[in-house]
Amino acid sequence: MTTTPDGGTAVPADALAGGTTGPDALAPLLHTVLDALAKGAVDRAGPLPDGGPTGTARDIAHALRHPAPPTAPVTPPRPDLLRPRGTGPTEALHTLTRALARGAADPADPACAAHLHCPPLAVAAAADLAAAALNPSLDSWDQAPSATALEEAVITAFATLVGYDPAHAAGAVTSGGTESNLTALLLARDTALRAHAQQATPTHDPTDGIPPHWAGRLRVFCSTEAHFSIARSAGILGIGAGRTTTVPTDDRHRMDPAALDAALAAATRDGNLPVAVVATAGTTDTGSIDPLEPIAAVCRRHRVHLHVDASYGTGALFTPRLRPLLDGLPEADTIALDTHKLGWQPVASGILLARHADTFHPLAQRAAYLNPDDDEAAGYPSLLGRSLRTTRRADAFKIAVTLRALGTDGLGDLVERCHRLAHHAARRIDAHPRLELHAPPVLTTVVFRYLPPPGTPASATPTPPADPDRINARLRRRLLETGRAVIGRTTVRPATGPGTPPGTVRLKLTLLNPHTTPDDLDQLLSLVVTEGDALSTSHTPGDHPVPPRRPRCEEP
């Protein structure tokens, strides 16, 4: 390392993060990143940048373009990221990290509460650096000796936590609920096809793909509130996105086990093959948890694979108050968990568990360069058969560090804080004449909407009656565009109650920040009402100008 004119330490551009010299190279670069993160957060001065997509795209383009490279422009022009000569690690890190932070929707801000998009714990983000620097890859032991052992320890911990017998269970860290769901449905599909091979061609080989006999006749069952990744996975797997049977829910958005029973019976009667039932423990919209015990009983009766998507519900594992919502979970054949929701990890940190390690059989894979027979016989473990991926980052590491640092009680406390915030918001919404609560919170989500006042605005020109869907969608975009708040939205079944204005658009607070206060929530709800009122009484909703919060970067 050399010294720069201003006395700082210049790290060579080709310095590595690992080895004995990596920490010395990383130290000044991390200092640069922290400085840029802090300055970018001040630049942003809120939960997200103002100016909407156009403003952010302009800011990023500006950051990428400046300073102009010293060489003459080339023809045809090359993208700004393809400069032949680099600007060096310090300049590149500072400029782009500051731009990233300035243009972030930062979930650590209490007014950023739209999605299952958590603010990561500092301890988890710091742990993730160790995984990045050493770069273990879990597809073979000789790329990840300690990371392999640590992932197994994380799997054992979560298998115990869900109530599996860890001696028989197996699992792997995934990129999130979507990958967990896809993998689980793959395992279920191939297990079902193997069990019913004789009904297909007698000579059918599992490597022949979906046999003609069953093509178009495989079925996946989930509730109408299940995540879209279930149908999408069915599409990827060749089952067909449209071959997902959506089972009706009760008035609290939970799958109706009797309806599931009837749907399974009908499918079999029609000559179809049920591949899996997917129950949801924590729906994306309302956090509803399907009744797992009766669903498991139905699945046993029909001998069909039960997968529980507990990506959001993972948090309930840590607190005795919410844990009973997950009764029946250990009866699932496979479970999707997620620690980048109510687990405060940086993305990605999903977990797929199977009650029996055998369930992973369809993913068994032998590769001469990764897990040759004689290496396995000599005791070299291989996690290759646990994942759809080959190269796989040690995302288990940050989870292990977080579990150890906070303990299960510490994580439970964070879950409870968010749960209490949701109930506070629900009470405030319920009490407000301009707000309508959609459903009581189950985990940490509050679905609601703004209700325009019934009267016509005091205006010279008559206006059409305010459309609540349009106003709610617009008020959310206005909050985004002006950088004041990131709240979520979704669509619900048409409202039918007496006196309820029609409309299907709802707003959503997904409360994953344990540092948010009740006051923060009150302010956030005030913003919603103020913006809704402004749009309701405006002639041309959405057009009242809001000055930008900070000067924009201008193109030269």
Residues 197-256 that bind its own copies (CB under 8 A): 205, 207-216, 218, 227-229, 232, 234-243
**Which two three-digit tokens encode residue 488?**
């979520």
Report in angstroms how near the CB of residue 498 gets to its own copies at its nearest. Answer: 25
Is residue 513 near its own copies by the rule CB under 8 A? yes
Pairing state between β 9-10 and 2-3: antiparallel
Q: Are residues 500 and 439 in contact, defined by beta-carbon separation less than 8 angstroms?
A: no
Select the span of 52-60, 263-271, 530-538, 543-551 touching its own copies (CB under 8 A).
Answer: 52-60
DSSP state of 323: G
Is residue 100 near its own copies by the rule CB under 8 A? yes
> What is the sign, positive or negative, of the torsion defined by CA atoms of 220, 224, 225, 229?
positive
Report in angstroms how near the CB of residue 172 gets to its own copies at its nearest. Answer: 13
Select the span of 37-45, 257-265, 274-282, 494-502 touching its own copies (CB under 8 A).
Answer: 37-45
Report in angstroms how near the CB of residue 431 gets to its own copies at its nearest. Answer: 26
Select the span of 384-392, 450-458, 459-467, 527-535 touching its own copies (CB under 8 A).
Answer: 384-392
**Which two three-digit tokens encode residue 12?**
């060579």
Is residue 272 near its own copies by the rule CB under 8 A? no
Select the span of 175-183, 429-437, 454-462, 518-526 touching its own copies (CB under 8 A).
Answer: 175-183
**Which two three-digit tokens encode residue 264?**
């399974």
Amino acid at 219: R
Is residue 517 near its own copies by the rule CB under 8 A? no
In the complex with its own copies, which residue's Cβ is closer, 406 or 429? Answer: 406
Q: Are residues 151 and 172 in contact, defined by beta-carbon separation less than 8 angstroms?
A: yes
What phi and psi values does residue 10 have, to the nearest 5 degrees?
A: -90, 120
In the complex with its own copies, which residue's Cβ is closer, 239 or 289? Answer: 239
Is residue 79 near its own copies by the rule CB under 8 A? yes
Report in angstroms how near the CB of residue 487 gets to its own copies at its nearest. Answer: 9
Select the span of 24-32, 262-270, 293-301, 425-433 touching its own copies (CB under 8 A).
Answer: 24-32
Report in angstroms how near the CB of residue 273 gets to its own copies at its nearest. Answer: 12
Is residue 82 near its own copies by the rule CB under 8 A? yes
In the complex with its own copies, which residue's Cβ is closer, 298 or 353? Answer: 353
Is residue 482 near its own copies by the rule CB under 8 A? no
Pairing state between β 435-439 and 334-338: unpaired
Is residue 64 near its own copies by the rule CB under 8 A? yes
Is residue 101 near its own copies by the rule CB under 8 A? yes
Size of the site for its own copies (CB under 8 A): 194
Select the span of 138-146, 300-308, 422-430, 454-462 touching its own copies (CB under 8 A).
Answer: 138-146
**Which two three-digit tokens encode residue 326?**
């997950």
CA atoms within 13 A on the CB side of 375: 13
Interface pick for its own copies out of 4, 68, 88, 526 (rule CB under 8 A): 88
Q: How far is CA 190 from CA 155, 166, 309, 314, 445, in A?
A: 23, 24, 19, 27, 35
DSSP state of 255: B
Is residue 380 near its own copies by the rule CB under 8 A? yes
In the complex with its own copies, which residue's Cβ is closer, 141 or 296? Answer: 141
Interface pick for its own copies out of 4, 66, 74, 149 (rule CB under 8 A): 149
**Which two three-digit tokens encode residue 207?**
């490597």
* Angle subtended by helix axes 396-431 and 122-134, to nearest 10: 150
Rounded distance, CA 248 to CA 266, Å? Answer: 15
Q: Are residues 111 and 50 in contact, defined by beta-carbon separation less than 8 angstroms?
A: no
Interface pick for its own copies out of 4, 390, 456, 530 (rule CB under 8 A): 390
Rounded distance, CA 284 to CA 310, Å? Answer: 10
Q: How many CB atoms are closer than 10 A to CB 513?
A: 23
Q: Alpha-carbon Rg of the chain, whole angstroms?
A: 26
Rounded distance, CA 200 to CA 20, Å? Answer: 58
Is residue 170 near its own copies by the rule CB under 8 A? no
Residue whose structure tokens are 């690690």: 89
In the complex with its own copies, which residue's Cβ is closer, 158 or 429? Answer: 158
Looking at the chain, how many residues does it have? 556
Q: Are residues 423 and 441 in contact, defined by beta-carbon separation less than 8 angstroms?
A: yes
Interface pick for its own copies out of 92, 265, 297, 495 (rule CB under 8 A): 92
> What is the sign, positive or negative, of the torsion defined by CA atoms of 490, 493, 496, 502?
positive
Is residue 406 near its own copies by the rule CB under 8 A? yes
Query: Which residues between 322 and 351 bind its own copies (CB under 8 A)?
Result: 340, 344, 346-348
Is residue 60 near its own copies by the rule CB under 8 A? yes
Residue 151: closest CA among 178, 133, 169, 171: 171
Is residue 495 near its own copies by the rule CB under 8 A? no
Q: Are residues 103 and 56 in contact, defined by beta-carbon separation less than 8 angstroms?
A: yes
Pairing state between β 505-510 and 244-247: unpaired
Report in angstroms how near the CB of residue 494 gets to its own copies at its nearest. Answer: 13
Report in angstroms how near the CB of residue 24 gets to its own copies at its nearest. Answer: 8
Is residue 74 near its own copies by the rule CB under 8 A? no
Report in angstroms how near the CB of residue 318 gets to its own copies at its nearest. Answer: 10
Select the span of 299-307, 421-429, 431-439, 508-516 touching its own copies (CB under 8 A).
Answer: 508-516
Is residue 502 near its own copies by the rule CB under 8 A? no
Is residue 9 near its own copies by the rule CB under 8 A? no
